[in-house]
Structure 1
Amino acid sequence: MLGQRVLTAIVLLAVLAATLALHNPWWFVALLAVGAACTCWEWLRLTVAQPPARVLCVGVAAMLLAVMLWAGWAWLVGQPAGMDLAAVVLQFLVPAVALIWLLGVTAAVVRGRADAPPASLVWSLFSVPAIFAAWSVLSLTFMVRGAWFVISLLALVWVADIAAYFAGRAFGKHKLAPRVSPGKTIEGAVAGIVAVVLWVWASSFWDGSFGQALIERLGITLALPAAALLGAISIVGDLFESLLKRRAGRKDSSALLPGHGGVYDRLDAILPVAPFALLLSGVLS
C-alpha cells in the first residue's frame, strides 16, 4: 500500500512539474480543470441520491469541465466574454463562496451530524460554484502571478496537512471532531495552523510568493493572523469532506488515485483556502 501511494505521488508530481515547466500556461490550466471535474464527480457521488439520480454526476462534471476549458482559453486569449466572466467570478462568486464556507460549511462541521442522510440538495448545488471558484482563483493567479505564486499557495495546504498529521500522531490526545473524523486531534490542528503561519512568514522572503503578497497588502501584524485563518479554513475543508464521506459510508471519495483515494481527497482543503487566499491577498483586485 505504501509503495502504491508513493508511486502515485511521484507520477502526480511529475505531471504537475511537466505542466509548470511548459511555457504555455494552457496545460496547467487544463490539468487543474480535469482535477476539478473529477472532484465535482466525486463530491456529487457523496451527496446525491442513489441511481438513477447518480448518473447525473458524470454529466454535471463533464459540463463543468467544458465550461472551465472554455473559460481558461478565453482568459488566455483575452476573449471579451471570458473577461466578463472573470469579473463576475472575482467580484461576486468568490466572495459568495467564501461566505458559505465560513458560515454554512463551518456550522455543518461543528454540528457534526454524521448520522444524517447522505443525499443533500444544498451541498450538491454548492459543489459546482465551490469548485469553479477555487479553479478560477488558481488559474487566474497562475496566469497573472506565475507558477511560484500558485505553488507557494498550494504548499500552505500541504504544510498544514503534514504538520497536523505528525503532530497529531506524536502529541494528539484531545479529539477535534470525533463524530466527523475520529483521527484528528486539537493538538494536530494547532500544529497545522502554526505551520501555515511559519510558512507564510518564511515564504514571504521569496519574490513572487503568496506569503510576500499577503504581507505586502496586510502588513506582518495582520498577515500572520490571516495565515492562521487560512490554516483553520483548510481544516474545515478537510473535515467537511470527512463529514460527507461518513454520511455516505465511504472511506475515500473514489479510487481514481491508487493509494490516495480520490482527487477530492487531495483537494478538499484547497477548495475553501483558494477563495479566502484571493480575498485576503487582493492580488487580482
Structure 2
Amino acid sequence: MLKTRVITALLLLALLLALLSYQSFTAIAFVAIVFFAAAAWESFRLFGSKYPAIGAALWTAGLAYIAFKGVVADAIALFAICVAIWAARLAPSLAFGLPPLGGIANRLLNGIYVIAILGCFAAILALYRHSALYLFSVFAIVWIADIGAYFSGKAFGKHKLAPSISPGKSWEGAFGGWLAVMIFFAATTWFPNLADTFASKLLVRWGWGGLFAGLSLMVVASIVGDLFESQLKRRAGIKDSSNLLPGHGGVLDRIDALIPALPLAVLIDFWL
C-alpha cells in the first residue's frame, strides 16, 4: 500500500513539474479540467446524487468555458464568493453538522461545494498566469502544512482536533504544520531566485507580520478544507472519495485542502 502510494505521488509530482516547466497555459488548463471534472464527479457521489456523471459533465463544460474564454482574468468576484462560502457556510458545518442526504438542504450544499471546487480550478489558472513558480509556491504552502501536520501529529499528537470528523488529526499536528510553513517560507525569502513567490510578495508588501498572517490564513483554510471533505466521507460512510488514484483514494482526497486555500490566495494576491 505504501509503495503504491509513493509511486502515485511521484507520478503526480512529475506530471505537475512537467506541466509547469513546459509553460503552456493550454496544457495546464486541459489537465486541470480532467482532474477537476473527476473531483466534481466525486463530489456529486459524496452528496448522494443519482446522476453524478451528468452533474460532472455539466460542470466540466463550465470549467472549459472559464479556462478558454478568458473568464479567469475577471473572476475576482468568484474568488470572493468562494471565500465567503467557506466562511459563512462550509466551515460552520464542521461545528453544526451536515444536513441529511437526499433533502433540499443537502442538494443546496452540494451546489455550494461544487462552486467552491470551480473557484479552486479558476484560482489555479489565475495564479499560473502570474507565473509557474508563483502557482507552485502556493501549492507548497498547503503541501508543507499537510506534511508537517502528519509528522507532528504522529510524534506529539495527544489532543484531538475534530474527533467526530477525523480522529487522526490533532491540535499538535495542526500547530506542527503551521510551524513548518512559517519556518520554510521565512527561509525561502533569503533566496533571490525565489523572489517571485507568494511568500516573498507578502513580505515585500506587508512585512514579516503580513507574511505570518497571510500564511497562517492559508494554513487554517487548508485544514478546514481537509476536515470538510472528511466530514462528507464520514456522512457517506466511505473511506475515500473514489479509487481513481491508487494508494491515495480519489482526486478530492488530494485537493480537498486546496479548495478553500487557493481562492483565498488569489484574493490576498489581489491586494499585493
So what's the TM-score if we normalise by structure 2? 0.92
- How do 1:184-195 and structure 2 match up within 5 A? 184-195=169-180
Alpha-carbon RMSD: 1.8
AA of the residue aligned to 2:218: L
Structure 2 residue 224 is the aligned partner of structure 1 residue 236: yes
- How do 1:60-71 and structure 2 match up within 5 A? 60-71=55-66
CA separation in 1, counterparts of 2:92 and 2:187? Answer: 32
Q: For 1:219, what is the secondary structure of its paired residue? A: helix
The answer for the alignment partner of 1:142 in structure 2 is: 128
Q: For 1:19, what is the secondary structure of its paired residue? A: helix
So what's the TM-score if we normalise by structure 1? 0.88
Instruction: Between 257-266 and 131-140, report the one with greater CA deviation.
Output: 131-140
CA contact (8 A) 2:126 2:266 kept: no
- How do 1:130-209 and structure 2 match up within 5 A? 130-143=116-129, 145-205=130-190, 206-209=194-197
CA contact (8 A) 1:253 1:265 kept: yes
Query: Which runs of 5 or more structure 2 residues have no equivalent in the other structure?
Result: none
AA of the residue aligned to 2:120: A
Q: How many residues of Structure 1 are paired with residues of Structure 2 in the alignment? A: 266
Deviations 1:121-141 (A, max 9, x none): 232111221111111111022
* Cα offset, 1:204, TM superposition: 3.3
* Cα offset, 1:60, TM superposition: 1.9
CA separation in 1, counterparts of 2:269 and 2:24? Answer: 25
AA of the residue aligned to 1:123: L
CA contact (8 A) 1:204 1:210 kept: no
CA separation in 2, counterparts of 1:216 and 1:47? Answer: 43
Which of 119, 122, 129 lines up with 2:115 in the alignment? 129
Q: For 1:198, what is the secondary structure of its paired residue? A: helix
CA contact (8 A) 2:23 2:132 kept: no
Q: For 2:69, what is the secondary structure of its paired residue? A: helix
CA separation in 2, counterparts of 1:281 and 1:197? Answer: 18
AA of the residue aligned to 2:82: V
Instruction: Between 28-37 and 246-255, report the one with greater CA deviation.
Output: 28-37
CA separation in 2, counterparts of 1:230 and 1:18? Answer: 25
Query: Which runs of 5 or more structure 1 residues have no equivalent in the other structure?
Result: 76-81
AA of the residue aligned to 1:22: Y
CA separation in 2, counterparts of 1:163 and 1:65? Answer: 33
CA separation in 1, counterparts of 2:187 and 2:263? Answer: 22
AA of the residue aligned to 2:173: G
Structure 2 residue 261 is the aligned partner of structure 1 residue 276: no
Identity of aligned residues (%): 38
The answer for the alignment partner of 2:252 in structure 1 is: 264
CA contact (8 A) 2:40 2:117 kept: yes
* Cα offset, 1:240, TM superposition: 0.2
CA contact (8 A) 2:43 2:114 kept: no
CA contact (8 A) 1:157 1:231 kept: yes
